[in-house]
Amino acid sequence: MLDLTREGPVFILRFDHGENRFDPGLVAELGKVLDDVAAAEAPAALVTTGTGKFYSNGLDVEHMGTLTPPEVGEYVAGVLRVVGRVLTFPMSTVAAVNGHAFGAGAQIAVAHDYQVMRSDRGYYCMPEVDMRVPLHPAMTAILQARLPVRTVHQVIATGKRFGGEEAAALHIVDRTAPEAEVVSTAVAMAAELAAKAHPAMGTLKRDMYRDVIAAIDEPLPGL
């Protein structure tokens, strides 16, 4: 489900699991891989990317349909704990958004320090307003912490699908690149910051995003 390689100081973690939805198996494996990468000594940095036309299509809705309400709440919190780990990772992180990033996939993308998105195809989207479902408080908090205020409103209240160029104009992502250059651009950005990897970086990030981390333990609305 995950493929981890390394180019110099940069770890490249590729989601390779169909639509790359965060089913329990992927979440568990991702946690273990993040443990391994976090233990690396400087210089080190992390790039994540997807496969085909998907970066990540978010929560595993089919799996959620098999769960009781309390189990749904714990499943969502488990996904958000992984997103929180990326948000507070002790080295620089860059999302190489190769395709669609929806819902929790959009969340984990913006949780990275930087983002490079494919310029010609693929969308960034939080579709909950059209699904008629509330966001977990931590999901709202992540967007508020990482995006401009007016952009957060557009992302949440419209459910619009933003292509790469529009996402860059709204500061959802930092750069765009052609498909063949998304990962290499992200690796180059990460390599420039690899020397800064240190547990202190994780502490600094946790201090910056204390409210987000606290919100992960709040209940999912409606449960």
Domains, the chain: 2-215 (3.90.226.10)
Percent of the chain predicted with pLDDT > 90: 98
Residue 126 near residue 204 (C-beta atoms within 8 A): no
Q: Is the pLDDT of residue 166 over 90?
A: yes
- Structure-block tokens of residue 218: 């709040």
3-state secondary structure of 189: helix
Q: Which residues face 3 on adjacent strands?
A: 14
- Structure-block tokens of residue 135: 């966001």
Distance (Å, rounded) from C-alpha 209 to C-alpha 116? 22
Residue 83 near residue 142 (C-beta atoms within 8 A): yes
Tell me if the bond preceding 199 is cis, omega within 30° of 0.
Answer: no
Q: Is the pLDDT of residue 86 over 70?
A: yes
Q: Is the pLDDT of residue 121 over 70?
A: yes
223 band by pLDDT with thresholds 50, 70 and 90 = low
Secondary structure E strands in 85-174: 93-97, 100-102, 114-118, 124-125
Distance (Å, rounded) from C-alpha 28 to C-alpha 12? 18
CA-to-CA dists, residue 78 to 116, 177, 196, angstroms:
26, 32, 28
Residue 15 near residue 50 (C-beta atoms within 8 A): yes
Summarised one tens digit per residue, pLDDT across range 96-119 is 999 999 999 999 999 999 999 999
Summarised one tens digit per residue, pLDDT across range 20-47 is 999 999 999 999 999 999 999 999 999 9
